[in-house]
Amino acid sequence: MDELKKYEVWFVTGSQGLYGPETLKQVAADSAVIASYLDKAPGISQRVVFKPILTTPDSIFELCSEANNSKVCVGLIIWMHTFSPAKMWIRGLSVLQKPFLHLHTQLNRDIPWGTIDMNFMNLNQSAHGDREFGFIGARLRLNRKIVVGHYQDPDILDRISVWLRAATAYNDMQGMKVARFGDNMREVAVTEGNKVSAQIDLGYSVYGFGVGDLVKYVNDVTDGEIKTLLDEYSSEYTMTKEVASSDTLKDAARIELGMEAFLKGGNFKAFTTCFEDLHGLKQLPGLAVQRLMVKGYGFGAEGDWKTAALVRSMKVMAIGLKGGTSFMEDYTYHLDPAETRVLGAHMLEICPSIALAKPAVEVHQLSIGGKADPARLVFKTATGPAINVSVIDLGNRFRMIVNKVEVVKCPDMPNLPVASVLWKPLPDLKRSAAAWILAGGAHHAGFSSSIDAEYMEDFAGMTGLEYVIIDEKCDLDSFKKELRWNEIFYLVSGSRI
Ligand code: MN
């Protein structure tokens, strides 16, 4: 959580000069009370910074420009305590590049029936002041989250907290570098995409490297560093003596140290590997990838840079929250009509942040890739609600598909040598899979039991990503129509709104 305290959201209040200095002083004092309450609210992990009351087009423009240039400001919370003629906001909001949340609130929760007079009404008029502000957001076609209610209402704090985490991930994504070791798995379609479009729409850049660039770092790792890391493995995981003393585990440690040095040195926040591009590495990085994910790196297999970036963003949103977040793949089905289930896993690369108990390091053969048997962490996953998320490139835009799932208890699978998750997708497998496939969702996903669909919806809104949800309410006929209508919408509006 402390990691998030370095980020700020600015609490911005609009008004106008007509009220006179005394009223504006009161407006400022009231706003400071709300900003301070939000700043101290336990569920809000970022700092909430009070900003002076804005009453002119110039001051609004300056504040929005300042927010754009701030490295720590992830967005604005905007509120009209009184009336603020919204033409004043056009210039500032037109240049604002940070997300904003429109907080439609009031200092007082209740109307003071016995004492209310005209002065009170004039001071506390967000009920119509915020509608004037809302119009200009609609007129400018700006994305924003609108949160309505008294500022101390726990539900309002939850909505703000979710949005703030999404805004922090959005901020983290701007200028983010994704390292791509090797290229795409040959002939695979969905992991491809337009990297220039991604940089324009989403803000991150994908850097391709030959595996030899990584191998150089791996070869530079010292025996002393390997020894220290092997000790760490022994304390964090269970393993047999045979595995603990194996050359395979030493090689895995060497790969992890080399990869981490490479990623740190280049300031990368996410990365991809590809089992078809391993020249010079003794084994497919399994344990290394799993451990780097738990440290906060995004990951996508088979060159899947979109999922790598997505997993990173989901991990940023989830900082300090219960549960975990991982790269994921729908692997195989249990089609018993009484309980249809999806077994999610990957060849190796599932993040131990979602593990139910202490993972085991195991070494097994990998029947793909033609390399040495790789080390990997094997574990089962805690049960409860979770989401799977995919981002695909449709040519003229990116689409985010979110499916709500329920992770359920998994029977023992003594012969399955990888980490796995068993889930029941909502509304059920038939409708979920049909909708996911209709929408073009990838076989790869970002999986999280820490965050829910609301985070992803807020995040998608900030980026201009098309967002479709498959949840308990999913109706396939409506879903098909939504996809068709969205085609027209994005043709008319362009990829961003
Ligand atoms: Mn895969």
Provide, rounded to the nearest whole percent, the portion of the chain with pLDDT above 70.
99
Last residue of a domain, one of 120, 145, 171: 171
Q: How far is the CA of 370 from the centre of ligand 1 (A)?
A: 16
Q: Are residues 195 and 141 in the same domain?
A: no
Distance 443 CA to ligand 1 centre (A): 7
CA atoms within 13 A on the CB side of 482: 17
d(CA 243, CA 130): 63
Angstrom distance (rounded) from CA 360 to CA 233: 10
Mean per-residue pLDDT, 191-217: 96
- 128, 145, 171 - which closes a domain: 171
Distance 481 CA to ligand 1 centre (A): 30
pLDDT at 2 over 90: no
- Pair 280, 296 in one domain: yes
C-alpha 442 to ligand 1 mean position (Å): 10
- Is the same domain home to 160 and 212? no
Among candidate residues 171, 192, 213, the one where a domain is terminated: 171
CA of 155 to the centre of ligand 1 (A): 38
| Distance (Å) from CA 294 to ligand 1 centroid | 19
Q: How far is ligand 1, taken at its centre, from the CA of residue 494, in Å? A: 31
Q: Say if residues 250 and 285 touch (Cβ distance below 8 Å).
A: no
Ligand 1 centroid vs 273 CA: distance in angstroms?
A: 10
In whole angstroms, what is the distance from residue 192 CA to residue 10 CA?
38
Q: What is the pLDDT of residue 495?
A: 58
- Please give the angle made by the CA atoms of 298, 300 and 302, to the nearest 5 degrees: 160
Are residues 185 and 136 part of one domain?
no
Q: Which whole number is the average pLDDT over 6-25?
A: 95
Give the tokens for residue 126.
């967000």
Separation of CA 127 and ligand 1 centre (Å):
51
Q: 336 and 190, same structural domain?
A: yes
Task: Check residue 64 and give its pLDDT.
Answer: 98
Determine the 3-state secondary structure of 71 from DSSP: coil
Q: Are residues 235 and 347 in the same domain?
A: yes
Are residues 370 and 386 part of one domain? yes
User: For residue 444, how far is its CA from the centre of ligand 1 (angstroms)?
Assistant: 6
- Give pLDDT, residue 1: 55
Average pLDDT value for residue range 64-85: 97
Q: Could you tell me if 36 and 92 lie in one domain? A: yes
Tokens of 259: 């990869």
The reply to whether 109 and 165 lie within a common domain is: yes
Summarize pLDDT for 32-65 with one digit per residue, the tens: 999 999 999 999 999 999 999 999 999 999 999 9
pLDDT digits (tens, 9 = 90+) for 88-122: 999 999 999 999 999 999 999 999 999 999 999 99
Residues spanned by the domain of 208? 177-493
Q: How many residues does the chain have?
A: 497
pLDDT tens column, 127-152 = 999 999 999 999 999 999 999 999 99
Same-domain check for residues 102 and 188: no
The verdict on 35 and 103 lying in the same domain is: yes
Look at residue 108 in the predicted model and tell me its pLDDT.
97
**Helix count and strand count (H, E) for the chain:** 16, 18
Structurally, the chain folds into a number of domains equal to 2
Q: Which two tokens stand for residue 448?
A: 């999280």
The pLDDT of residue 372 is above 90: no
Q: Is the pLDDT of residue 368 over 90?
A: no
CATH code of the domain covering residue 46:
3.40.50.10940
**pLDDT tens digits, 220-237:** 999 999 999 999 999 999
CA–centroid distance, 49 to ligand 1, in Å, is 43
- Assess whether 302 and 374 both reside in one domain: yes
Q: Within 10 A of 153 (CB to CB), how many other CB atoms are there?
A: 14
Give 374-419 pLDDT, tens digit per residue: 999 999 999 999 999 999 999 999 999 999 999 999 999 999 999 9
List pLDDT tens digits, range 283-342: 999 999 999 999 999 999 999 999 999 999 999 999 999 999 999 999 999 999 999 999
